[in-house]
Structure 1
Amino acid sequence: MSYWFPRLYDHLMGPLEQKKFRRIREKLIGKAKGKVLEIGSGTGINFPLYDQADQVVAIEPEPLMLKQSLNRIRQAKIPIEVIEAGGEQLPFADHVFDTVVVTLVLCTIPNPLKALQEIRRVCKVDGQILLFEHVKIDHQVLGSLQDWLTPVWKRLCDGCCLNRDTIHYIKEAGFKIHSIEKYYKGIFITIEARNQYY
């Protein structure tokens, strides 16, 4: 990760978070129950929103973002532990989490399928997965524009891919999708899925 990105992230995203994303996050995070794993917790923007969970274990690979998130732990209503780790190799036993939360992070993970397979491994059978992500738009012109912009965007924003087909990866990992909600012409989506085995 670059030197400047973790330091400026909250300042750059603040207006968007307050005006656009706050309500989306509140609605999604409010559904997290039991023992929760949050993938890529960043600066801890979700921490104050957990109110139905028993506890949250969060992972974050960037040390500076992890350090910045400690302030938001004090604002949380439930116990939160943050561990320095990446999503592609989770340091947990099989089937221990009731809910896994992933918000605006699959776009940056180099191997999203591997991360989702790891999420499936640590999530309990019939556990829930709650995601808020930006995805490639199902529109010929705008989707092509995302493809064209992605190489430059990745360099500017520490690996963020504008054109990820996240729904495809979720299905390929073996999750059963129960609902999808689209926001802002389908650029952003929330997904509720289950770790159901057949």
Structure 2
Amino acid sequence: MKPNNDAIKKRYDRIAPYFDGMEAVMEGLFFKSWRKRLWDRVDGHHILEVGVGTGKNFDYYPKDARITGIDFSEKMLSEAKRKRGRKQVSVELDLMDVQSLYFADNSFDTVIASFVFCSVPAPIKGLKELYRVCKPGGQVLLLEHVLSSNPVIAGAMNLLNPIVVTLVGANINRQTVKNVQACPFSSVRVDEHSSDIIKLIEARK
């Protein structure tokens, strides 16, 4: 049985105080440079970050932008609020599920997420919500880890996935590029520097 929203929320609530420490090595070695590349692509003034987590992207926010950050884990959001205070970041933080956003259609110039859709129970439903709240001509930017195209590595990822989901609520075998392509975006492009497993995806409405 696939875990539901409540089960995944509880897992993220449980690990929230330790989350930054758990990912510190990978963050320093790999993710920081990818986050910078992701945020360097942002267009427009009004930005929504979904799955803000503990606020790992705060350092990359563009100056003078109007930014809203959401997360469905109350404890992760609490960590982000503390970090917002320490870093003096200008961002509105709200408790919200990406699968059911409270925002009106065509609200944001850019909608952005990093390593989020591995944890969304109904990823295509969530992606269609990003499409809905993005302005016409606006962009959806995603940084995601996906299932390897190498059959051997993919087999190992599929085998390990239930364990990872049980521990932290994240899937390591999602095919997020295909999921984005299944949505009604006018264009979907994968950054040429993307690796086999880490993909930077830019979709236009």
Same fold (TM over 0.5): yes
Report the Cα distance in structure 2 between the residues aligned to 1:161 and 1:181, rounded to whole angstroms.
Answer: 24
Counterpart of 1:187 in structure 2 is 197
C-alpha spacing 1:54/1:138, structure 2 compared with 1 (3 Å): same
Instruction: Establish whether residue 47 from structure 1 lines up as the match of residue 61 from structure 2.
Output: no
Q: Does the residue aligned with 2:65 lie in a helix, a strand or coil?
A: strand
Q: How many residues align?
A: 192
Aligned AA for 2:174? R
Pick aligned residue for 1:107 from 101, 110, 118: 118
Pick aligned residue for 1:88 from 95, 99, 120: 99
Q: Offset at 1:18?
A: 1.7
C-alpha spacing 1:52/1:125, structure 2 compared with 1 (3 Å): farther
Q: Offset at 1:72?
A: 2.9
Where structure 2 has 5 or more consecutive residues not aligned to the other structure, the ranges are: 1-9
- 170-179 or 1-10, larger mean C-alpha shift: 1-10
Counterpart of 2:34 in structure 1 is 24
Report the Cα distance in structure 2 between the residues aligned to 1:141 and 1:117, rounded to whole angstroms.
Answer: 31
Identity of aligned residues (%): 30
Q: Offset at 1:178?
A: 2.9
Q: Offset at 1:52?
A: 5.0
Counterpart of 2:171 in structure 1 is 161
After superposition, residues 9-158 of structure 1 pair within 5 angstroms as 9-32=19-42, 33-52=44-63, 54-74=65-85, 75=87, 79-158=90-169
**Over residues 62-115 of structure 1, what are the superposed CA-to-partner deviations in whole Å (9 max), with x where a residue is unaligned?**
1111011013324255x3101001100001000010000010010000000000
Q: Offset at 1:57?
A: 0.7
Counterpart of 2:181 in structure 1 is 171
Q: Does the residue aligned with 1:130 lie in a helix, a strand or coil?
A: strand
**Over residues 110-139 of structure 1, what are the superposed CA-to-partner deviations in whole Å (9 max), with x where a residue is unaligned?**
000000001100000110111110000001
C-alpha spacing 1:76/1:97, structure 2 compared with 1 (3 Å): farther
Report the Cα distance in structure 2 between the residues aligned to 1:102 and 1:157, rounded to whole angstroms.
Answer: 18
Report the Cα distance in structure 1 between the residues aligned to 2:111 and 2:88, rounded to whole angstroms.
Answer: 17
CA contact (8 A) 1:35 1:54 kept: yes
TM-score, structure 1 normalization: 0.91
Q: Does the residue aligned with 1:58 lie in a helix, a strand or coil?
A: strand
Q: Does the residue aligned with 1:89 lie in a helix, a strand or coil?
A: coil
CA contact (8 A) 1:36 1:53 kept: no
C-alpha spacing 1:181/1:52, structure 2 compared with 1 (3 Å): farther
Report the Cα distance in structure 2 between the residues aligned to 1:72 and 1:56, rounded to whole angstroms.
Answer: 15
CA RMSD of aligned residues (A): 1.5
User: Following TM superposition, where does structure 1 have runs of at least 4 consecutive aligned residues deviating by more than 3 angstroms?
Assistant: none
CA contact (8 A) 1:116 1:173 kept: yes
